[in-house]
Structure 1
Amino acid sequence: MSITKEVEDAVLDAGRRLADAGWTIEPIDDVPLLRDAGEVQERLWLGDGFPALADAVARDGDPGAQAVVDGMRAKVAAMPENVVVASLVRRTTLTRAWRLFLAEYPVLLLPVSGELPFPDNLDMQGAAGFQRVWDAQLTMRALPAMGLPGLVVSTGMVKDVPVGVQVVAGHFREDLCLLAGKAIEERGAPPSPIDPAM
């Protein structure tokens, strides 16, 4: 997954904050098949009943929902008939791999998105804009497919744009997400006051 330098810096900064709080930090070059999990999620979302979904979206007239339908139409057309059953089997395999990984590394810091927040409505500005958003938000699509708990923690601002990290733990270990999130927040700069004019 490609990430911008600002996003990478936020993840590294969050790791330093955890180290300062006494956590043992290890850089990890690879995690179990995140892209496969993202594909499982999109197949489960869209692999059954897509024509009815597309009709409902067209009737509703929501441009954001229409951008998703348009952006995924070709992928859905190429899905096999047994896509849901095959995806459920694949999800079981991926979930096992993630359970084993998180038994060794109980907390994982990941980007929330590969990029800083996008310009408004980028996903509705053609196929390239949609794909850019879709690709950058892989972690937000992949991890829920396996039911893993996650927590987004702000690490600060880059110019006038917020940036943060995603804290992920094993099943039923929301407590670890909260403990890590608290340690990250406590060792950061005080939050900027919210401007009511914005």
Structure 2
Amino acid sequence: MTITPDSTARDQAGAVRAGEISARELLELHLDRIDARNGELTAIVSLDPERAREGAAAADEALASGAEVGPLHGLPFAFKDTHEVAGWRTTYGSVLYADHVPATDELIVERVRRAGVVVLGRTNVPEFAAGSHTFNRVFGTTLNPHDPTRSAGGSSGGAACALAAGMVPLADGSDMGGSLRNPASFCGVVGLRPSLGRVPTWPQPNHWETTSVGGPLARTVDDVALLLSVMAGPDPRAPQALGDPGSAFAPPLRGSLAGLRVAVTTDLGGAFACDREVAAVVAASAGTLASAGARVDDEVPDLREGEDVFRTLRAWHFQATFAERLAAHPDAFKTSLADNIRAGADLTGADVARAYAGRTTLAHRVREFFTTHDLLVLPASQVPPFPAEVEYPGAIDGVPTETYLDWMRAAYLVTVTGCPAVSVPFGRTADGLPVGLQLVAAHGRDRFLLECAAALEVLVAG
């Protein structure tokens, strides 16, 4: 088998272990691809080829010595620039942290490094990962690899772009309002937002904050499962972590859609506007799923509390995290983020209590929905990739958007349920831009969700 930067991560890792290609050779293939495409796309930032070459040499030496190696041994990797990597520049896309170099790895980085990756750089993010379009004043804008005039999405936009362009075989990300699912949809890759507690986070200022989670991106569902198997599992430092070991999610995946009870919706019963081309792709999935033996209907859970829940908890979290820095450096924040932070200052204890009560109601309602359905299918993003020079689309199918959050409802209404959700490439617009299908399963059913996504991927491949 000839290994290229576009080969699956499983094939690349297997070839390194088998001695069919060295980690050094694999790294050079990816550095060549980065050299060819990154100048235009700005997906990889803080690139350090020489340090990466040292890491690849060490990986080859470890393998030659007979040492036990991890499942990602020798794979080139670039961590999202909001995840702290010891000794490596971590900017959060902010001018305030343009020269920040952490002393320690955060937990998700610790686990992926332990699995044997060769770090080569970081992936670009919006300022403090706020917003689903990747641009900042430190590195600039990440462009879509399918059409460089368009957005790559965000906040894991650099990660999704780098994957789609073959600069890395796997990527990490995080997701509050769609930051794993939206860029996966825009770039035509797979992005999983795991169940709450599946991928623990440490350190963080509030261990009980449960809107943002870490997760994997890859070009195939099988590769997403491979990376999830490394990221997932309990840790004593993360009190809300689920107890299943990461190995429970390792590929191969053997899923089927036959007999599943599936609800397909383009708008969650009118909960959000959807671009007509995106809606047509999602609607077409009903026939595809039915042809595979699924029982398809259009029943949807009532998520009406989700709007208030998400926006309240997001503003509360942002105000607690960034208010002091905004007061000290008001010009260092983009306007949309500054407004979001200031909105949190006006919240009362009653507002936050109402949001948590609403979230509890949602959790029970969605749990009941999944007693009669196995999957919920809806758009991963309400729009296709939009022009890169705008911060967010001004309207969706004629419905104006007033804030930088309005076009992400398809993702963030799922966020507040706590359920796992995955974006899988399913179709394209008339202009050839990718459209991702969002599959949602009951909380804790991450393995089942990936098996369903893998079965769908086979159908799409044809």
TM-score, structure 1 normalization: 0.77
Structure 2 gaps of 5+ residues are: 1-271
User: 1:51–1:172: structure 2 CA closer, same or farther, 3 Å change rule?
Assistant: closer
One-letter amino acid of the structure 2 residue matched with residue 101 of structure 1: F
Residue of 346, 353, 374 corresponding to 1:106:
374
Output one character per residue of 1:84-111: Cα deviation in whole Å (capped at 9) or x when no partner.
2221122111110111012111200011
Aligned to 1:118: 386
Match of residue 173, structure 1, among 440, 445, 453: 445
Query: Deviation of residue 44 (structure 1)?
Result: 1.3
Question: What residue is the counterpart of 2:312 in the other structure?
Answer: 43
Q: Distance in 1 between matches of 2:392 and 2:340?
A: 9
User: Which residue of structure 2 aligns with residue 80 of structure 1?
Assistant: 348
For residues 10-30 of structure 1, the C-alpha deviation after alignment (integer angstroms, 9 at most, x for no partner) is 2122222221211111122x4
Matched, 1:53 2:322: yes
Task: State whether structure 2 residue 338 is matched by structure 1 residue 69.
Answer: yes
After superposition, the Cα gap between the structure-2 partners of 1:51 and 1:101, relative to the gap in structure 1 and judged at 3 Å, is closer
- Whichever of the two has the greater Rg, that structure is 2
Distance in 2 separating the partners of 1:171 and 1:155:
23
- Give, in whole Å, the separation in 1 of the partners of 2:434 and 2:284: 14
1:196 is aligned to none
Aligned twin of 1:31 = 301
Q: What's the offset of the Cα at 1:162?
A: 1.1
Q: Which amino acid in structure 2 is aligned with residue 96 of structure 1?
A: H
CA distance 1:68–1:123, change in 2 (3 Å): farther
Q: Distance in 1 between matches of 2:355 and 2:458?
A: 40
Q: Is the partner of 2:419 in helix, strand or coil?
A: coil
- Give the match for residue 96 of structure 1: 364
Tell me which amino acid in the other structure corresponds to 1:173.
Answer: R
Aligned length: 184
Output the CA distance in 2 between the equivalents of 1:122 and 1:84: 32
Alpha-carbon shift at residue 80 of structure 1 (Å): 3.3
Identity of aligned residues (%): 27
Letter in 1 for 2:373: Y
Q: Which residue number corresponds to residue 11 of structure 1?
A: 282
Q: Aligned-pair distance for 1:136?
A: 1.9
Larger helix proportion, structure 1 or 2? Answer: 1
8 Å Cα contact 1:156/1:189 also seen in 2: no
Flag the 1:61–1:185 CA change in 2: closer, same or farther, 3 A.
same
Worse-matched range after superposition: 88-97 or 47-56: 47-56
Structure 1: how far apart are the matches of 2:375 and 2:419? 11
**Counterpart residue identity of residue 91, structure 1:** R
Q: Which amino acid aligns with 1:177?
A: L
- Per-residue CA deviation, residues 115-166 of structure 1 (Å, 9 max, x unaligned), is 112222533799x987364222112212122211101011132113111110
Aligned to 1:131: 402
Determine which structure has greater relative contact order: mean sequence separation of CA pairs < 8 Å that are 6+ residues apart, divided by chain length: 1
Residue identity opposite 2:459 in structure 1: R
In 1: Cα distance, 2:313 partner to 2:346 partner: 14
Secondary structure at 1:47 match in 2: helix
- CA distance in structure 2 between the partners assigned to 1:121 and 1:80 by the alignment: 36
1:23-45 alpha-carbon deviations (Å, 9 max, x no partner): 111122x4312x42132122112
Indicate if the aligned counterparts of 1:122 and 1:133 stay in contact, CA closer than 8 A. Answer: no
Q: Structure 1 residues 15, 176: CA separation in 2 closer, same or farther (over 3 Å shift)?
A: farther
Q: What's 2:292 paired with?
A: 21
TM-score, normalization by structure 2: 0.36
2:297 is paired with a residue whose SS is coil
Question: Do the aligned partners of 1:32 and 1:101 also contact (CA within 8 Å) in 2?
Answer: no
Alignment of 1:157-172 (within 5 A): 157-158=428-429, 159-172=431-444
- Provide closer, same or farther for how the CA distance between residues 124 and 161 of structure 1 changes in structure 2, counting only shifts above 3 A: closer
Residue 182 in structure 1 maps to residue 454 in structure 2: yes
